[in-house]
Structure 1
C-alpha cells in the first residue's frame, strides 16, 4: 500500500459498528498516526468498489465481522503537508446475524479488535480524537462542520475539517 499508488487524493472509509449491548467495535492499529490507539475499523477505497462496499470489506478484513450499511455519520477531510487531499467517509454499520459473530483480528495490521463500551473508551487515554468526538456527537446529535479539531501533530495536517 504505497502512498504513490493513491496519488495525491486519498479516499478512505471507516465503519462504526455497535452491538446489541451498546458496545463499539474498535481496533488498535500497529502502524501510522493511530498506532496503539483505539479507533474504528478503516481503510482505503479500492479502484473497483464503491465506498459502501469498501467499508463492509474493511470491517470484515480487520475484524471478521460482517455488516451492512445503515447510513453515513460524517465525512472528514484534511490536507497533509499542503500536498495530499485525505478524505474519509464514516459509516454507521449494523452487524449481520443478529450480532452473534466472533471477532477475528487481522494480526498483520492490528494489535487487537474488540467491543468496548463508550464508558470504557471515554476512560481510556488510548482512545483516538475522532472516536471521542463521535461519542460526544452521538450523545448531543450535532450537525455542522468543525475546523478546530487537531487529531495530533504526528499526522502533518495543514488543513483538517470534520463534517458531522
Structure 2
C-alpha cells in the first residue's frame, strides 16, 4: 500500500503566536492548520516544509529542528500517511497567499488561547501545538 508523505512548518513569532492558515476545498467548511503539504519527487522533508510555508504564507523560513513525525491512516482515503513536523524560524518574505492549489483563504498568527477554540483541520494536533507553543521560549 502506498504511503502519503508530507511536512509541516511550526513558526512561532516574538509574541509567542503560531503561524496558521485557514484552508479547505471550496465546498468544505474552512479550518485552521499550520502550513503543510505533500512531499514532491526528489524533495527532502526539510525542503518540502520550507516550500509549503512559502507557498501558503509568502514567508521564507529556515529549519530549526524536527519536532515530531505523525503517522496514521487517512479516514477519508484509506492510505497510510507520515508527516514530519519542523520548528522553523522566519527569515524573510511577506504575508501573501500564493498557494498553487487555491485552498488557502487566510493567514494569521494564533495565540495559545486561540488554539483552544479554533476549528482545526487536524484536531489531533491541538494538544501537541499548545504544548509546543507553551514550551518554546524566544
Scaled by the length of structure 2, the TM-score of the pair is 0.81
Q: Which of 26, 47, 51 is the equivalent residue of 1:53?
A: 47
Residue 116 in structure 1 maps to residue 114 in structure 2: no
Query: Cα distance 1:135–1:113, how it changes in 2: closer, same or farther (>3 A)?
Result: same
For 1:140 and 1:115, the matched residues in 2 are separated by 17
Write out per-residue CA displacement over residues 24-64 of structure 1, whole angstroms, 9 at most, x where no aligned residue: 100111229x9511110000111121110110000000000
Give distance in 2, aligned partners of 1:35 and 1:93. 28
Q: Which has the larger radius of gyration?
A: 1
Contact between 2:115 and 2:130, CA under 8 Å: does it hold in 1?
Answer: no
1:104 equivalent among 85, 96, 103: 96
Q: CA deviation at 1:134?
A: 1.9
Question: How many residues are aligned here?
Answer: 130
Gaps of 5+ in 1: 1-6, 142-164
Q: RMSD of the alignment, in Å?
A: 2.6
Q: In 1, Cα distance between the equivalents of 2:11 and 2:135?
A: 19
- Residue of structure 2 in register with 1:85 after alignment: 80
Change (3 A) 1:39 1:48: same
- Are 1:10 and 1:84, in contact at CA under 8 Å, matched by a contact in 2? yes
SS in 1 for 2:97: coil
Q: Is the 8 A contact 1:40 1:131 kept in 2?
A: no
Where in structure 2 are there 5+ consecutive unaligned residues?
none
Inter-partner Cα distance in structure 1 for 2:83 and 2:97:
22
Is 2:25 the counterpart of 1:37?
no
- SS state at 2:69 partner: strand
State TM-score, norm by structure 1.
0.69
| 1:123-163 Cα shifts (integer Å, max 9, x gaps) | 33x1341441223432479xxxxxxxxxxxxxxxxxxxxxx
* SS of corresponding position for 1:133: helix
With CA pairs under 8 Å and 6+ residues apart, which has the higher RCO, 1 or 2?
2
